[in-house]
Amino acid sequence: MITGSDWDFDRLEDGTHKIAGEVQLRAYGRFLEDYASQLQGIQEALEDCMGDSWDMSVDPIALQFAPHEQCTLLQLIDTDNKVLNKVLTVFTTLCAEVRSLQSEAKLKYYETLMFYGEGDNSSIQDGAAQVMMGSLLPHLQELGCFIKRCEEVAIQIVQQLAAVYSSPRESSQVMNAVDIHFQDVFDHLGDLLLILVTLDEILGNHGPIQDHWIIYKRTVVSVHHDPEKFGVKRERLATFEKILTDLETNLLTGKIFQKAVEQPFDNKQGQVSKNSALADEFFLYLKNSVNDLDTKASERLDSNYLLSWVKLSALYVLNFQLFGTADKKLFKQLWDLHKKIPVVTLIGNVLWVPENFLLAHLPVIAKTMDKKAQQTLVTSRSNYLHQKSLNLVRDSQTYCLQTFSWMIQMENSLKQESTQLKLDDLIERCKLFLQGVQFACTISHLLKTVTNLHVSLAKPMTKTAVIALCKMIELLKGIQHMYHRHFMAVSESVNHVIQHLSYRALSIIATAKKGLVQDKRYSEKHLDILSSLVLAEKALHGPGTKERHLVLRLALCTANQMRTFREDELVQLSTLLRKLNVICDIQEKLADACDCSFLYWHRVVLPIYLSHVYESKSDVQNILYMFCALRDCVVAMERVRQDSVRSILKESFEKEVTRYLHEQVIQPLCHETETNLRLHVHSHLQLDDRNPFRVGIEDNSPILRLRPLRFFDKYIHIKGHVEHYLEETFYNLTTVALHDWKTYGEMRTLARYKFGLETVEDHLPSQTLEQGLDVLEIMRNIHIFVSKYLYNLNNQIFIEQSSNNKHLNTINIRHVANSIRTHGTGIMNTTVNFTYQFLRKKFFIFSQFMYDEHIKSRLIKDLRFFRENKAQLEQKYSYERADKFNKGIRKLGVTADGQSFLDQFRMLISHIGNAMGYVRMIRSGGLHCCSNAICFIPDLEDIVCFEELCAEEGLSITCQEAARRLDQVISNLTRNFAEGTEYFKLLVDVFAPVFRDPKNMHLRNFYMIVPPLTINFVEHSITCKEKMSKKNKMGAAFTDDGFAMGIAYILKLLDQYTEFDSLHWFQSVRDKYNKDKLALTKQKSVASRDDEKLQQTMTLTARRLDMYLQASSGEFDLLYYSLSSARIFFQKDKTVPEVNPNAE
């Protein structure tokens, strides 16, 4: 074990070790300073805007440097003078109790009463008033007890003062208080009365509380008539009614203050009203305070000095109630103060009007006041408001200059290290700290007075006045931000400043004490003064707590007799104590001065302010300060004690402010940004003059660079809102007009480079122009689609037959694949089902046509002719016979547009074929979509099971479930890609039994009508193609493979491929055209070469016939190829494909 001697070292080395330690400490300090500066530089480099979203209420770490007293008052007030100890202990305790009551009223009752009935009342139903008042009743009962406590404390203060200022002849005199002036005790008595005045003003002017109370009482009366119905005992109801009566009498009649000052203050020791010494002291205090307020009212417009008028008026009323005397000169001084202070804001939007208060509580004096004097006050108040409103812009600019100058001085002063400060620097910092609080108090007074007066007098406020007021709100929060930003430097300096001020105060006290000690005369007064000075020194030697400052001021009250201090010393000491009071409690003083919770009652100015911010585009970052001011309203709402009311308040306030921001800033910014991008993209068009030198330029980048605004428990990111708006707009408009995708792509790129807006890509299917008609749209209107579009078999594409536009719409496999990708593969089966329903209707018409006697008889006749003359016709159906059928049908009649029945039958078959072509395209599109999706699978032959792999690795159940779903998706894709669905086979199988049923024998001769149909189709096709080269292209077409598809499908349904092939129809057509060409050649040779005119005529005729023959022959060949291709789709037939007649 190591003993103490083992750690001994040479004592000569003590100095060396100390020096080395100091060197290391200094090096470590320099390292920390360098590291802190580097971190600050990194933070500044990362910041992308001038302002920052700060909120002191959510700081992760906060330093409260206001000291808290650990000693009791008995320990603080401990001198050898026992009588003095008792007196000061009593008054200090009473003053501390008044402060406690002030804090309780502010935290528990003011906001609870003021915010009652606020919030979103649009959804209030019957009975809501009773429920709201019922929830307020417990708090009203507590308030009644609180007021009772205030009355008791007021009695105690008055009685203790009466005991101190008792006559020397009385045996109960505690001490000789002839020259002692307890001003602080009277001040605290005024603070106590101020609480009661404030409660009176809140409850007396609160409409919802008064209205709901009346409704609630009526409800209770209705319950009283039949208490059993409501499950209430009559005895308890009587007690409850008595409680309600007491609450109404004590709280809601507006006489809280009046009852407090009219209560009996006498005790067993004597009557207070007959204490002339107390009356003289009371009057002296009022006189001195009014004079002081009159001289300094225009200089120091902080809340304490303004509320002093209310306190003095309340004390004047109390003085009148106690002693029955009312000094008219003093009253006139109070009355004339309205010229400098027209009204006083007690809290929020609650105003104290001087003449109303004085005339209501001093009826004796009210009788002597004429109405003209009262009217003068009202006129004076209106003139004051008018003058202030006119000067608001100028005052705002003045305060801006003063505040900015102060901020610069603060920045320069706080840059110095606290360890290198000199005395002048310390004095300068003290001055700046006090100056900032004073600026905040002055601006706050102007804001509250002007806004509340406008509401009270129902005077409208101009837009310039609103902007100026909002500018001052920003200044208030800027001042608070300055202290908050330099919080550590301020907290370090405050202790030094307190020490310096305490030292100066101690020096003055020590001088007075020295002079007192040198005075050889001894008396009880000397002893009291000396003990008071010792107690004051003791209070100053400790930390600057509120309790010590209270003891200090009371001790100086007892010490300042027999001219202990010279006049200049007294003034200097008073100034030092005032500075100490502010510096020691600077955080609380600053928070009260910069509190903007009154803005809740004047939030109607927000739209004007936000609109101005957006339109001016200047100092946009100051909107952060406005939202910090709005945050003070939330802090006030948090003090509401009713949970339901508090939640409604906060929700309603959040919605309202957010709506204002969206309407005045975000929505106009979104629209203007979109317009700017559109004009930039379309700058090649003839637009309005956009020269920035002539029409100016709208720069929205400052608003877009704003950091997120914190409001309640969320952040409002203006840039994010604009990005979302552009994303939504670009996506929606691109889906509506896909051909504009490039335009919106350019706008998206411009938004990124011009405004720094990062928008998400649309990711529309395949990023293609060729979205075409949607599969769902075609499916719902398939009867229109097959009639308006023409099918091309080889390219597998549908082309619009005619259009009013300069282009024709097309639909191909990619379009269908994109639609399937959008809606899912399940739409394919639905589409085929719709097609089946459509084919059922068409086949019904088909059957009716074939059943017609004219058609049926002609077909039987042609079939008999072909069978009887098969040998002579060389097993080939005669072209002339088919042509005769085609022309003969026209004799049966034509439609209004010149179409025969066979033309309509051909169109019916084309529609059926188009429907089949659409089904084919659906299947191809599905395969195309599957192939695009399955391309990410490496090997279709070797697909791993992800669920098993996850289970082997021991992953969570959630991961295994996700893997199982992935396996299902891959399996589904693989199966769809490998197998597909034979939709043609399904449609053949469903209709074939019906077509081949013996009941439908009239369909068995269909193959005989195919030759006339082909001739009709070829003639129609030639006519359509000829129109392609004409100016009027109505009815022009270059493809219509739906006819071939329909013929192939119906022949398959009737199982007539063999019968149709037995006609050798296309070979017969080829032979016919060969004969025509040969006849044309012979005709050319027979014509006389001598007859030139005949020769020319024959040449022209031959050329025209040759062109027609070539066109007809080509169309028949094309039809043959299309029909052969279409037959391939209906596999598993027993027929042998017909040999191409062109093959040699």
Higher pLDDT, 885 or 608: 608
pLDDT mean over 484-491 = 84
- List, for residues 660-693, the tens digit of each pLDDT value: 999 999 999 999 999 888 888 877 665 666 666 6
* Dihedral angle sign, alpha carbons of residues 180, 183, 186, 192: negative
Residue 692, pLDDT score:
63
| Residue 230: pLDDT over 70 | yes
Q: Which two tokens stand for residue 424?
A: 């002048």
Half-sphere exposure of 603 (CA within 13 A, CB side): 22
Residue 535 near residue 77 (C-beta atoms within 8 A):
yes
pLDDT band at 238 (very low <50, low <70, confident <90, very high): confident
Residue 1135, pLDDT score:
36
Residue 1106, pLDDT score:
63
Q: Which two tokens stand for residue 478?
A: 């800027």
Q: Radius of gyration of the chain from Cα atoms?
A: 51
- List, for residues 533-571, the tens digit of each pLDDT value: 888 888 888 888 888 888 888 888 888 776 778 888 888
Instruction: Give the chain's end-to-end CA distance (angstroms, integer).
Output: 121
- List, for residues 106-158, the tens digit of each pLDDT value: 999 999 889 888 876 655 567 788 888 888 899 999 999 999 999 999 999 99
Of 508, 473, 492, residue with least CA distance to 433:
492
- Which secondary structure element, helix H or strand E, spans residue 811, and what is its range? strand 810-811
Spatial neighbors of 548 by CB under 8 A, at least 6 apart, are 69, 76, 539, 540, 542
Strands (DSSP E) found in 636-753:
709-711, 714-716
Q: Which two tokens stand for residue 958?
A: 């959630």
pLDDT above 70 covers a percentage of the chain that reads 87
φ, ψ dihedrals at 792, nearest 5°:
-115, 115
3-state secondary structure 203-225: HHCCHHHHHHHHHHHHHHHHHHH
- Return the biggest CA–CA distance within the chain: 172
Whole-angstrom distance, CA of residue 669 vs CA of residue 658 = 15
Residue 1104, pLDDT score:
62
119-133, 435-449, 866-880: segment of lowest average pLDDT: 119-133
Higher pLDDT, 556 or 304: 556
| Residue 741: pLDDT over 80 | no
Q: What 3-state DSSP class applies to 519? A: coil
- List, for residues 915-956, the tens digit of each pLDDT value: 999 888 888 888 887 777 777 777 767 778 888 888 888 888
- List, for residues 1111-1141, the tens digit of each pLDDT value: 677 788 888 888 888 888 886 544 333 333 3
> How does the average pLDDT of the chain come out, rounded?
82
DSSP string over 277-324: HHHHHHHHHHHHHHHHHHHHTTT--SHHHHHHHHHHHHHHHHHHHHH-
Residue 706, pLDDT score:
85
Exposed (0-12), middle (13-18) or buried (19+): which is 17, by Cβ within 10 Å?
A: exposed
418-427, 515-524, 1026-1035: segment of lowest average pLDDT: 515-524
Residue 1143, pLDDT score:
35
Residue 143 near residue 105 (C-beta atoms within 8 A):
no
pLDDT mean over 451-455 = 91
| Residue 798: pLDDT over 60 | yes
Buried-exposed string 642-656: b where 16+ CB fall within 10 A, e elsewhere? beebbebbbeebbee
Spatial neighbors of 676 by CB under 8 A, at least 6 apart, are 698, 700, 754
| Residue 652: pLDDT over 80 | yes
Q: Which two tokens stand for residue 683?
A: 């700058």
Helices (H) and strands (E) in the chain, counts: 46, 7
- List, for residues 1070-1107, the tens digit of each pLDDT value: 888 788 777 777 766 665 555 666 666 666 666 666 66
pLDDT band at 3 (very low <50, low <70, confident <90, very high): very low
* Dihedral angle sign, alpha carbons of residues 290, 292, 297, 301: negative
- List, for residues 318-369, the tens digit of each pLDDT value: 998 888 887 788 888 888 887 777 888 899 889 988 888 888 888 877 677 7
| Residue 462: pLDDT over 50 | yes
Residue 7, pLDDT score:
40
Whole-angstrom distance, CA of residue 88 vs CA of residue 82 = 10
